[in-house]
Structure 1
Amino acid sequence: MPPAPAAPATDSLLKHQAFVHFWFARIASSFGFQMLSVAVGWQIYEITGRALDLGLIGLVQFIPSVLLALPAGHVADQFERRRIVLLGQVLELIAIVVLATISLMHAAHEASILVLVFTIGVAKAFEFPAMQSMLPALVPASILPRAMAASGSAGQAAMIMGPALGGLLYIAGPGTVYVVSGVLYLASVLLMTRLRYDHVPPRREPATLKTLFAGVHFIRARPDVLGVISLDLFAVLLGGATALLPIFAKDILHTGPWGLGLLRAAPAVGALLMSVWLTRHSLERKVGPIMFASVAGFGLATLVFAVSSTLWLSMVALFALGAFDMVSMVIRGALVQLDTPDDMRGRVSAVNAIFINTSNQLGEFESGLLAAWLGAINATLIGGFGTLVVVVLWMAMFPTLRRRQRLQAEPNELSQPAEDTL
C-alpha cells in the first residue's frame, strides 16, 4: 500500500484543537527547561570548577525519576492525566522561581541549586508518564507517529533557540535566565488548563506490588517493546555527552556561554529538521533496521564530536547526533504506544521513563565520572564505541525487532513471549 499523502495528514493534526494546545505547551515548557539546563550547568561549573559536579546535576534528577517512576505510572492510570501534568509543572515553576530569587540575591550555592534541581526531578517523574499517555487520546491512531514527530518538533524547535538565548541571557546573570524560564513555564501551565482532554480513569485500584509492576510484566512479555526501550537506554547511557558540553566549550573549544548555547542548540536543529520530515512522511517499512541504523549513527556522531577541536565541526557532529536520535525517539515512542492498551499506558510509560531517564540523567553522571578520571575526550570516545557495541549485541538478542517492518505489530507479534528472543 502506498504511503498516505503527507499534507492531508499534517493538516488533520491541526484540526485537533486539543493537540494544538498540547503542542504549544510543549514548546513553552521545553524552551524554559533548556534555558534552565544551560544556566544550571554553567552556574555550577563556575562555582566549583569540577567536572564531577556537572555529573551530579544528572544524578539528582535520576534518583527521583527511578524511585518514583512506578508509583507515577500507577497514578497516571488511576487519575485524570491532565491534572497530574498541571501539578507537576506548577511544582517545577515554584522551584524555578526560587532559583531565580536566590540567584538574583547572590545567595545561590551548589547545594541549594542541586536541591531545587532534585525538586524539579520529582515533579517530572510524575509529569512524564501522564503526558506521554495523553497524546494517543488527542489524535487518531492512524496519524499517531506523525503526531509524535510533531510533538517532538515542538520540543526541538524550542531547544534550538532556548540554549542559545539562555547562553546570551546568562551574560546578565543566571537569575535573568531563570526569570525568563519561569515565564515560559507559566505560559505552559495556562495552555494546559485550556486543553480539553477526555480521559475517564478506570475503577481505582489500590497500589499493590502487582499493579505497580504491571508495566514491567507487560514489557517483559513483548520483546520488541523491551528491545527498543533497552536499546535506547544503553546507547544513550554510553553515548550521551551533553553533560560535558561546558567542559568542551570552555577548555577544548575555548568559547564562552554563547558557544555553549550553540553547542546545546546544534542537536536540536538536527532533531527539528528530522522531525519536520517525519511529520510529513510515514515510516511505513523496515522500522526495525532503521531504528538500529539510527542508533549506530548516533554512536558515530559521538565519536566525531569527541575528536573535534573546532566549534563548527563539533556543531556538525551534534547536528547529526540530534537527527539520528529523533528517528529512534519517534520509532520507540510510536511503537510503545501502539503496542500498549490505554489502561496500561501510564504504567508502561513509567517504565519507559525509567529507561529514558536512566540513559539521560545517569548517563550524565557516568560521563562526568569518566571525564573526572580519564578526561572529557576519552570519556566521550568510550561512550561512542560503547554505543556501537550495544547496537551489534541488540541486533543479535532481539531478532524480531531487527526484522520488524511496521510500527503497528500484527496481533500474533503482540502476544509473542520474550523468552523466544532472549
Structure 2
Amino acid sequence: MWRRVTADQPIPDTTPLRIHNFRAYLLARFTMIVGQYAMMLIIGWQTYTIARENGLDAFAASGQLALIGLLQFLPLFVLAPFSGLAADRFNRKTVARLTILLQLIGAGFLAWMTYTDRIGLPALFSVAVLLGIVRAFNGPALSALAPNLVPKAILPNAIALSSIAWQTGMIVGPAIGGYAYDAAPALPYAIASCLFIVAIIAISTIGKVPRSAITGAQRPIGQIIDGWRYVFRNKMVLGAITLDLMAVFLAGATALFPPFAYDILKVGETGLAQLAAAPAIGAAVTALWFSFRPLKTNVGPKMLWAVAAFGLATIMFGLSRNMPLSLAMLVIVGAADMFSVYIRQSLIQLHTPDDKRGRVSSASLLTISASNEGGDAFSGFLASIIGPAGAVIFGGIGAIVTVGMWSRIFPVLRHTRTFDPPPSLEEETPEQTLQEKIP
C-alpha cells in the first residue's frame, strides 16, 4: 500500500533505503564517484610519470601535480558562489545530469588520447580545468538534493549511507583505475565513461522532489550574499567548515601518492591503487558503523579529536618507508576523516534551512575544494621545495595545531553535544512531503 510520509512524521523503519528516490540518488552518487576517482588517480599518475620520463626529478615532477590541483581549484573558487545559487534556483536533478555529462565527455576524450598514444600534459591539464568547473556545480546540487529525499528524522542515517557510497566509490575507483591502467592505459577512462552513463540514468529515475522557495533577497547577487551571510553568522556552520578547510589543506597527502608509489615506496601502479584505496577503506568502515549506530552525544568534541587523529596518522605515513605500515596509517587517516565528515555534514545540513542549503553547500564545497584541490596544489608546491615526505609530515603537524586553535576560536565546537538544531531553525524548515511505497 502507499503511505504518506512527511519530514516530521515518525516512520516504522529508520533506513532511507526504503525510499526509491534515495536509492536512485545513492546509485548515481556511487557510480559517479567511482568513475571520478578512477579518472583522478590516473590523471595524477600520468602527469607525474610523463614529467619523470621527460627528465624532471621527483621534486619538479611534484610541482606538476601541484598544477593539476591548482587547475581544478581555480574554476571552482570562481564559480562556487554562482553554483550554489544555481542549486537553489534551478532543478537540482538537471544540474546534476549536466555535470555528469561533462565528466563523461572528459573521460571519453582522455580515453581516446591515451588509446592513440597522444596523451600529454596539455590534455591532462585541460580535463583538470573541466573537472574543476563540473565539481563547482555538481557538489552543491547533489548535497542540496539529498535532504529533500528523506524525512529529516532519518537524515543522519541518509548522510551516513551517502558517505558509504562516496567512500566505497573512493575504494573501488582507485582500485579500478590502477589495475585497469596496468592492463591497458586507456581502460580506466573507458570504464569511467560507462559509469557516468549509469549515473545519469539513475538520477533521471528520481521522481518529483519537494523543495522550498528562496526567501530574503530577490536579486541573484543578493541571494548569493544571503547564503554566505548565513554561513558567517552561524558560528557552528562556520567553525565546522573552516576546521576541515585548514586541516585537510595542510595535511593533504593524497596528491603525493604518485611520488610515494614511484620513488619512495617503489610499488608501481598497483601499489598506487592500494595507497589510494586505503584511506577510503577506513572511511567506509567508519561510515558503515555510523549507518547502524548513529553518533548522538558529544559530537563537537569528538569531531575535534578525530581531526587530531587525522593529523597524527598523516605524520606517521610521511615517516614510514614500509608499505604495510603506510597502508595501516592511511586506513586510520580515512577513518578519522570520515568521523569528522559525518559530524560536520550532519551539523551543516541540520543547522541550515532548506531554502539556503544549495548556497551553504556551495560555501562548504568551496572550502572542501580549497582543502582538497587547493591542498593538493599546496602539497605539490611544498614537496617541490622540501620533498614529498617532508610536505606530508609538515601537513600533519599543521592539522594538529589547527585543532588547538579552532577549539579556542570556535568554542561552540567544544560545547556542541547533539545534532539537534535550534528551535528557531525548526520553525523555518518547511514540511517535506514524500510519496513512498512501504510494504
Alignment of 1:338 onto 2:360:
no
Is 181-190 or 405-414 further displaced after alignment? 405-414
Indicate conservation of the 8 Å contact 2:214/2:355, yes or no. no
Contact 1:244 1:376 in 2 (8 A): yes
1:215 aligns with 2:227: yes
1:328 and 2:340 are equivalent in the alignment: yes
What whole-Å deviation, never above 9, does each CA across 1:161-212 have from its counterpart, x for those lacking one? 2212211111234311100111111111111111124145637976543212
Matches within 5 A, 1:384-399: 384-399=396-411
- The alpha-carbon distance between structure 1 residues 185 and 259, as it changes in their structure 2 partners (threshold 3 A), is same
Q: Which amino acid aligns with 2:320?
A: S
Within 5 Å, give how 1:270-419 maps onto structure 2: 270-411=282-423
Deviations 1:86-116 (A, max 9, x none): 1111111111111111111111110111111
How many residues are matched? 408
| Structure 1 alignment gaps of length 5 or more | 1-7, 416-422
Worse overlay, 256-265 or 198-207: 198-207
- In 1: Cα distance, 2:398 partner to 2:281 partner: 25
- Amino acid across the alignment from 2:342: V
Shift of 1:274: 0.3
- Please give the alpha-carbon distance, in whole angstroms, between the structure 2 residues aligned to 1:366 and 1:223: 27
The match for 2:51 is 48
Q: TM-score, normalised by structure 1?
A: 0.93
The answer on whether the counterparts of 1:82 and 1:197 sit within 8 Å (CA) in structure 2 is no
Paired with 1:163 and 1:355, the residues of 2 have a C-alpha distance of 24
Alignment-mate amino acid for residue 120 of structure 1: L
Residue 153 of structure 1 corresponds to 164
Does 1:28 find its partner at 2:64? no
Q: Provide, for residues 244-298 of structure 1, a one-character-per-residue CA deviation record: whole Å limited to 9, x for no partner.
A: 0011111111110000000000001000100000001121110000110110010
Q: Is the 8 A contact 1:138 1:197 kept in 2?
A: no
Asked if 1:96 corresponds to 2:99, the answer is no
Q: Secondary structure at the match of 2:186?
A: helix
SS in 2 for 1:408: coil
CA contact (8 A) 2:114 2:185 kept: yes
**1:292-339 CA deviation, whole Å, 9 max, x = no partner?**
011001000101100000110010000000001111111111111111
Q: Deviations over 1:204-258 (max 9, x none)?
A: 9765432122221001111011000000000000011100001111111111000
For 2:162 and 2:211, how far apart are their aligned partners in 1? Answer: 23
Q: Contact 2:353–2:425 (CA<8 Å) still a contact in 1?
A: no
Compared CA separation, residues 9 and 169, structure 1 to 2 (3 A): farther
Distance 1:203 1:303, change over 3 A: closer
CA 1:10/1:96 → structure 2, altered by over 3 Å: closer, same or farther?
farther
| Deviation (angstroms), 1:81 | 0.7
Please report how far the alpha carbon of residue 13 of structure 1 lies from its aligned counterpart in structure 2 after TM superposition. 1.4
Q: Say which SS state the counterpart of residue 68 (structure 1) adopts.
A: helix
Alpha-carbon distance in 2 for matches of 1:260, 1:302: 17
DSSP-derived class of the 1:19 partner: helix
CA–CA distance in structure 2, aligned partners of residues 100 and 215 of structure 1: 39
Q: Is the 8 A contact 2:279 2:335 kept in 1?
A: yes
* Aligned equivalents of 1:128, 1:121: Cα separation in 2: 11
Q: Does the 8 A contact of 2:211 with 2:354 survive in 1?
A: no
Where in structure 2 are there 5+ consecutive unaligned residues? 1-10, 53-60, 428-439
Q: Quick check: 1:9–1:143 contact (8 Å CA) kept in 2?
A: no
Relative to structure 1, the CA distance from residue 318 to residue 58 in structure 2 (aligned partners, 3 Å threshold; closer, same or farther) is: same
Asked if structure 2 preserves the Cα contact closer than 8 Å seen for 1:153 and 1:276, the reply is yes
Change (3 A) 1:413 1:130: closer
For 1:238 and 1:179, the matched residues in 2 are separated by 33
For residues 367 and 407 of structure 2, the distance between their equivalents in structure 1, rounded to whole angstroms, comes to 18
**Paired position in structure 2 for 1:420:** none
CA–CA separation in structure 1 for the residues paired with 2:220 and 2:145: 24
1:127 aligns with 2:138: yes
Amino acid at match of 2:233: A
Task: Give the residue type in structure 2 aligned to 1:288.
Answer: G
Question: For residue 431 of structure 2, what is the aligned residue in structure 1?
Answer: none
How big is each residue's C-alpha offset from its partner over 1:114-150, in whole Å with a ceiling of 9 and x where there is no partner? 1112112211111110100011111111111111110
Residue identity in the other structure for 1:355: T
CA contact under 8 A between 1:291 and 1:327: conserved in structure 2? yes
Deviations 1:33-69 (A, max 9, x none): 1111121111111111211111111111101111000
**What is the deviation of 1:9?**
8.2
Note closer, same or farther for the CA distance 1:197–1:309 as it changes in structure 2 (3 Å cut).
farther
Q: For residues 139 and 219 of structure 1, what CA distance do their matches in structure 2 show? A: 24
Assess if the C-alpha contact under 8 Å between 1:295 and 1:387 holds in 2: yes
Alignment of structure 1 residues 109-120 onto 2, 5 Å: 109-120=120-131
Please report how far the alpha carbon of residue 155 of structure 1 lies from its aligned counterpart in structure 2 after TM superposition.
1.5
- Pick one of 281, 304, 314 that aligns with 1:269: 281
Contact conserved, 2:148 with 2:211, CA < 8 A, in 1? no
SS in 1 for 2:272: helix
Residue 15 of structure 1 corresponds to 18
Question: How does the TM-score come out when normalised to structure 2?
Answer: 0.90
Two-structure CA RMSD over aligned residues (Å): 1.8
Q: Which of 180, 184, 188 is the equivalent residue of 1:169?
A: 180
1:9–1:280 Cα contact (<8 Å) kept? no
1:410 Cα offset (Å): 2.6
